[in-house]
Each structure stands twice: as structure tokens, then as C-alpha cells.
Structure 1
Amino acid sequence: MEEAKWYVVHTYSGYENTVAASIEKAVENRGMRDLIQEVNIPMETVTEITDNGPKTVERKVFPGYVLVKMVLTDDTWHLVRNIRGSTGFVGSGNKAIPLSEEEIAALGVEKHEVVVNYALGDSVKITDGALESFIGTVEEIDMDHSKVRVVVSMFGRETPVELELDQVEPVSD
């Protein structure tokens, strides 16, 4: 089977969430999860300065667009094209053009797998950040959010610290 690629779907302004939800629902109803694998609206966290001080908000990186990881067939093309609020694929004419690897990386849509060579209970050394070179014990590994919680002994007290998966390395005995 052909490999799924990321395509950009143009939507009416403000319809991004509706279009994404409708695509997901249609995929479930028609059992097309193998063809349409993921729907994504790239978001960024921005700090806005208001009269009441700074406030953090989630904002769409590309208003009016939804990213869809799918295998392009006549069926998938028509499904996405006929969703209410969708105005079609970004491409030339009626041809949808997939994003390149570089574009996908730049958008940060696909997280590249971090290979973790430590496990729960292992002693690890922190390689980056404020606690660099501290030794701790792995308490929790959260692959979905690329985080690891390490318990470090500081000033005679156990202190849990949340770090990125690649900020720690196993301690070789």
C-alpha cells in the first residue's frame, strides 16, 4: 500500500476545528483509518500582553488550514473535498501536493521518535538544563509528551524534576 503523506486542506476562516472534527468523524464512520491516519491543526503557544498583564493563549499557526496525513486516493480526495467548510487541497488545479519532509519538520507536526535507553528505576545523569550533571532516578517516562520525571536528591531531600527525554542519559556503572 502507498505510504501516507501530509496534505494541506484549505478551509473557510474559523472552520478549522469543524473541518478537522468532520474529517475524523467521516473516517470513523467509513472505516478509513488506514487511509486517513491523522488530522492536525498546528498550534503555537503565545504570550499576549493585555491590560490585565501577560496571558498565554493557543493560536493557530496557519489560520484557514488543516493538515491531513493520508494516502491520496479518489475516495480520500472526495471525502476531504466534500467536508463542509473545506474549500479543497493546497496544490495546483485539482492535484493535491504533499508536504516535503523539510516542510513537515519545520511545522513540527511529526515528532521524531526519541530512542530512550533507560527505564523506570534506572539511575540517570542530567545532561542539560539547570540541574546539569546531577544524578537521579527515573520515576516516570511520558513518551506522548517526550518528558521524563527524575527524582534528584538535593539538600538531603528528594525532588522530582520534569525534563525532556533527551536531557538525561543512563549512568554507566
Structure 2
Amino acid sequence: MLKKWFVIYTLTGNEDRVKKLISTIYPREEVKPLVPSRRLKEIKQGVETVKTRTMFPGYVFIETNLSNELYRSMMRIPSIVKLLKVDSEPVHVSDEEMHPILKLTADSEIIGFSKGIRIGTKVKIIDGPLKSFEGRIISIDARKGRAKVCLDLLGEGKRVDLGLVVLKDIC
């Protein structure tokens, strides 16, 4: 029988504890817990630190063939509040909903830093009439999703305003 993903409500802040308890009590073949997290840079009083934060506070995903016996057993684990239900029946998370989460957490449960384009970054234009040209970012308007790029056109540095979606970081 194909395993499905379910969601457990936990006390916020106890997601990793619940995951460890599930992993200790049940073999991985029976129940696979998942707590997607992300790595963030935080700056406090001028000091940059890297923190790991849970993406879905208060939730633990489990992949299992959920039986009544397994359900009752899991509800005895401390810090588990309940299982996500619809009309008093446990409901599984669809493959379409789980796919992006699993894709982001493919190698580990912790999602690393995103690589944004910054001022001074060397970029290549990947679409439009200037496709394949390379230049450097001069300024970025994140709200509008645009960047001013200095391109070498006709032997001169020309400023061009482009959408961020047509730029690819080549550093």
C-alpha cells in the first residue's frame, strides 16, 4: 500500500522533539517524520548570526500508512495535540501540495540561503532582444522587480533598465 503524508499539530516549539520521539518509537519504514526548516541570517546589534527556523511552526509532517492502532499510539506522544482531520477523519496531504516541500527539502530538512542578485553582480540576460549580453548590476528596485544594468554596447557602458526575471547571475 502506498504511503501518504499526514500533518500532526504539535505544541509550537516542540516540532523537533516530536520528530525525535516519532523516530525513536517507530521504525523509519513505518513512519517517516519531516520538519521543514530554513536557515536565516539575523543581525542584532550589528552582529550577524545564522539561525534555523521551522517553516511551519506547530506542525510535523509524517509519511505513513495510517492505521487506527498507529493513530491511537501516536496520540499518546507528549506534545502531539492532534492529527489534521476533516469531518473527524484524518486527511492526507495531496502529492501536489507536498511536492514543493519535498523538492525544497530534497537533500536535508533545512533549506539554505537563497541566492539573490546584488548590486555589482555580473549577470547575463537570458531573454528578450538583449539576450546573451553580459553586464553588471548598478541598482535594484526589488519592489518593482527591476534592475539597472551596465552593458558594454557599441564600445560604451550603457545603462539599461531590465526585469529581474531576465537576468541570471554568472559569478
Q: TM-score, normalised by structure 1?
A: 0.55
Alignment partner, residue 68 of structure 1 = 62
Amino acid at match of 1:34: E
- Residue deviations 1:29-55 (CA, integer Å, cap 9, x gap): xxxx4332x111110111112113332
How far apart are the structure 2 equivalents of 1:52 and 1:100?
43
Conserved 8 A contact 1:4-1:35: no
- State the 1:82 CA deviation: 1.7
1:15 and 2:14 are equivalent in the alignment: yes
Select 1:54's aligned residue among 35, 48, 52.
Answer: 48
Which of 1 and 2 has greater Rg?
2
Q: 1:99 to 1:110 in 2, by over 3 A?
A: farther
How far apart are the structure 2 equivalents of 1:91 and 1:60?
22
Q: Identical aligned pairs, as a percentage? A: 22
How far apart are the structure 2 equivalents of 1:57 and 1:42?
14
Figure out how many residues of one structure are paired with residues of the other and give that number.
Answer: 109
Alignment partner, residue 96 of structure 1 = 90
- State the 1:87 CA deviation: 0.7
1:43 and 2:37 are equivalent in the alignment: yes
List gaps (5 residues or longer) in structure 1.
Answer: 114-128, 131-173
How far apart are the structure 1 equivalents of 2:77 and 2:8?
10
- Residue deviations 1:80-132 (CA, integer Å, cap 9, x gap): 2221110111122432111111211222367679xxxxxxxxxxxxxxx99xx
- State the 1:57 CA deviation: 1.2
Q: TM-score, normalised by structure 2?
A: 0.56
Alignment partner, residue 150 of structure 1 = none
